[in-house]
Copies of this chain bind each other. A is one copy, B any other.
Amino acid sequence: MTAVLRMPAPARANLPGHRVVLGTEHELRLDCGIEFGPFALAYQTYGTLNAQRSNAVLVCHALTGDQFVAEEHPVTGKPGWWSTMVGPGRPLDTERYYIICANVLGGCMGTAGPMETNPATGKPYGLDFPVITVADMVRSQKMLIDHLGIERLFCVTGGSMGGMQALQWAAMYPEHVFAAVPIASAARHSAQNIAFHEVGRQAIVADPDWCGGDYLSQGKRPQRGLAVARMAAHITYLSEAALHRKFGRSLQDRQKVTYGFDADFQVESYLRYQGSTFVDRFDANSYLYITRAMDYFDLAAEHGGVLSRAFTGTKVRFCLVSFTSDWLFPTRESREIVHALNAAMANVSFVEIETDKGHDAFLLDEPELDKVLKGFLAGCAEHAGLDR
């Protein structure tokens, strides 16, 4: 694949997994108006596509996720971000389903994004990369599904921004999705969430090493700004109760406060660690682009301000999940989607799971989530006539 040669970033040169160049015949028409392509999409698969090509499940990742759903991460060495959910006998059972996950457009794990070389200049795109939307991500995934010869996805699912993609899939390609499971998500990004994203972006662009977005060409990386952005965001992924349970006011390896600015408290130490490890695996410009895509997400706005119109006549079966302690994508956001789906006479079930783990609950060991997904998919498989 020639696309590999176009990747400049040393850390990404030897990524394992699949990488396909799409948009060679027909470019991808982005929401911003640009005809984009050819472009690379990096993806992973788990399990086997059946003969009818009817058992494919597209997993959509969240803001800082990637395609390494259920295997060791090639950069961090940590388990896949949804290895509790994807595997033999797990809710997304790889002995039954063919799991696909692609790094989103604008990402930094092999898919076209601001880190990649701009063929027009021979240098990394930086801010010359076009601003993309959640719909653009989904369009690129549809091209991948077409490329794989899959007419209809059995299911599309994901948490947070992954849930936005699942909703967008159902709205844009209802004939090509049997079931959709948006978890801890929303039909639009709230003012508070835009505000938190803006803080993260400002932390990045305030870092002199960001160099107006051109840091890769200049051999620099805005690591301090990106770490601050991650720290701020990380707090919003947890709940006050979880932070209290995990850390409270416990001190870090000391008996007394030091009357200084070291990380006296465990929660400070934890946050600093989250910031510093994040910069090893993530690209600052990708952070700008993907947060922007989330901010722009507003499914109702694409349909005259009426969310139910996004789903008129849909045959997609929906299961929505929210978590009681998630204050970033609170239950009321999922409930609004359920109301719209009800108004559209769609087939929808909705579960609010009681947990203190906050927004991150979808990534953590949450047995009720497993049960909900397993049960919903089993019912869908029966209706879809999926062979065991």
In A211-248, which residues have CB < 8 Å from any B CB? 224-225, 227-228, 231-232, 235, 238, 240, 243-244, 246-248
Partner of A190, one of B227, B244, B246, B275: B244
Main secondary structure of the interface of A (DSSP, over half): helix
Expressed in whole angstroms, the Cα–Cα distance for A246 and B190 within the complex equals 12
B192 touches A243 (CB 8 A): yes
Size bracket of the A interface: 35 or more
Quick check: which of A66-74, A76-84, A193-201, A343-351 contacts chain B, the rest being far away? Answer: A193-201
Expressed in whole angstroms, the Cα–Cα distance for A272 and B131 within the complex equals 21
**Residue on B with the closest CB to A245?**
B191
A194 touches B228 (CB 8 A): no
A206 touches B227 (CB 8 A): yes
Report B-chain residues with C-beta under 8 Å of the C-beta of A235: 192, 195-196, 199
A249 touches B202 (CB 8 A): no
B225 touches A206 (CB 8 A): yes
Residue A203 lies at the interface, judged by CB distance under 8 Å to chain B: yes
**Residue on B with the closest CB to A239?**
B192
Report B-chain residues with C-beta under 8 Å of the C-beta of A295: 264-265
Residue A12 lies at the interface, judged by CB distance under 8 Å to chain B: no
Expressed in whole angstroms, the Cα–Cα distance for A195 and B265 within the complex equals 9
Residue A32 lies at the interface, judged by CB distance under 8 Å to chain B: yes
Residue A95 lies at the interface, judged by CB distance under 8 Å to chain B: no
A191-B265, A206-B227, A240-B327 known; 9 new pairs, CB 8 Å cut-off, are A33-B259, A191-B243, A194-B265, A198-B267, A199-B228, A199-B232, A206-B207, A206-B225, A261-B288
29 contacts between A and B (CB under 8 A): A131-B259, A131-B261, A189-B249, A190-B243, A190-B249, A191-B243, A191-B244, A191-B249, A192-B235, A192-B240, A192-B244, A195-B243, A196-B232, A198-B271, A199-B228, A199-B235, A202-B228, A202-B272, A203-B203, A203-B228, A206-B207, A206-B224, A206-B225, A240-B327, A240-B330, A249-B301, A257-B296, A265-B295, A327-B327
Contact surface of A with B, Cβ cutoff 8 Å? 31-33, 127, 130-131, 188-192, 194-196, 198-199, 201-203, 205-208, 224-225, 227-228, 231-232, 235, 238, 240, 243-244, 246-249, 257, 259-261, 263-265, 267-268, 271-272, 275, 288, 292, 295-296, 298, 301, 327, 330
